[in-house]
Structure 1
C-alpha cells in the first residue's frame, strides 16, 4: 500500500517537474508542453488505476492553486480556459494508456506502450481537448480541430519517447513496470 502511494506521488511530482521545460504557447492559448509525456508515462509504467490516480493527485494540486502547469499556471480557472478539456482528459488518458499496456500482452512492451500512448495520450486527449477548446473559444469543432493539427507530430514523438523509456525501465528493473506485473 505505501509503495503504491509513494509511486502515485512520485509520478504526480514528475508531471509537475515536466512543467519546468519551457512551454511554447501558440496564438490561441494552448501551449506545447512536456507534461503530456508525463501523463502517458504514468499510465504506461504505473498501469491504469495508479496512473490515473497520479494524474488526479496532480490535478487536485493544480485546482487548489499550486502553479504546477507549464508557465506557472494553477487554480480552478485553468479548468475552464482553452486547455480545460485537455486537463479533464488527462486522468482518462493515463488510464487508457495503462489499460492498453496491461491487456495487450501479445505484443512487445514497446509496441503496446506506443499504441496505448497514441490512444490515450493523443486520440482521447485531443477528442476532449478539442471540445473544451471549442467551448472556450466559441469556435466550431472543425475550426478547433484545425488548430490542434500542429500538435500531432510532437505528441507522436512523445509517445515514442514514452515507449523507449518504459522499455528501458523494464530492461533495467522489470518489476518496476507495474502495468506488466
Structure 2
C-alpha cells in the first residue's frame, strides 16, 4: 500500500517536472507540452489503476491552484480553457494505456507500450480534447479535429519515447514496470 502511494505521488511529480520544459502555445490556446509523455509513462510503467490515480492526483493539485501545468498554469480556470478536454482525458488515457500494457503480452514491450501510448495518449486523449476544444472555442467537432492535427507528430514521437523508456526500464529493473509485474 505504501509503495503504491509513493509511486503514484512520484509519477504525479514526474508529470509536474515535465511541465518545466517550455510549452509551445498554438494560436487557439492549447499548448504543446512534454507533460503528455508523463501521462503515457504513468500508464506504461504503473499500469491502469496506479497510472490513472497518479494523473488524478496531479490534476487535483493543479485544481487547488498549484501552477504545475506547463507555462505555470494552475487553478480551476484551466478546466474551462481550450485545453480542458485534454486535461480531463489524461487520467482516462493513462488508464487505457496501462490496461493495454497489462493485457497484451504477445509482443515485445517496446512495441506494446508504444502502441498503447498511441491508443491512449493520442486517440483517447484527442477524443476528449476535441470535444473540449469544440465547447471552449465554439467550433464544430470537425473544425476542432482539424486543429489537433498540429499535435500528431509530437505525440507520436512521445509515444515512441514512452515505449523505449518503458522497455529500457523493464530490461534494467523488470520488477519496476508494474504494468507487467502485476500481470505475471
TM more than 0.5 = yes
1:22 alignment partner in structure 2: 22
1:77 alignment partner in structure 2: 77
1:39 alignment partner in structure 2: 39
Q: Deviations over 1:88-124 (max 9, x none)?
A: 0000000000000000011111111011101110000
> How many Å apart are 1:172 and its aligned residue?
0.6
1:54 alignment partner in structure 2: 54
> How many Å apart are 1:157 and its aligned residue?
0.2
Gaps of 5+ in 2: none
Gaps of 5+ in 1: none
1:159 alignment partner in structure 2: 159
> How many Å apart are 1:77 and its aligned residue?
0.8
- Paired with 1:81 and 1:33, the residues of 2 have a C-alpha distance of 15
2:102 alignment partner in structure 1: 102
Q: Deviations over 1:2-40 (max 9, x none)?
A: 111100000000000000001000000000000000000
> How many Å apart are 1:150 and its aligned residue?
1.1
TM-score (norm 2): 0.98
- Paired with 1:87 and 1:23, the residues of 2 have a C-alpha distance of 15
- Paired with 1:139 and 1:56, the residues of 2 have a C-alpha distance of 28
- Paired with 2:14 and 2:122, the residues of 1 have a C-alpha distance of 19
1:144 alignment partner in structure 2: 144
Q: Deviations over 1:148-174 (max 9, x none)?
A: 101101000000000010011001100
- Paired with 1:116 and 1:57, the residues of 2 have a C-alpha distance of 22
2:115 alignment partner in structure 1: 115
> How many Å apart are 1:134 and its aligned residue?
0.5
TM-score (norm 1): 0.99
Aligned residue pairs total 181
Superposed CA RMSD in Å reads: 0.4
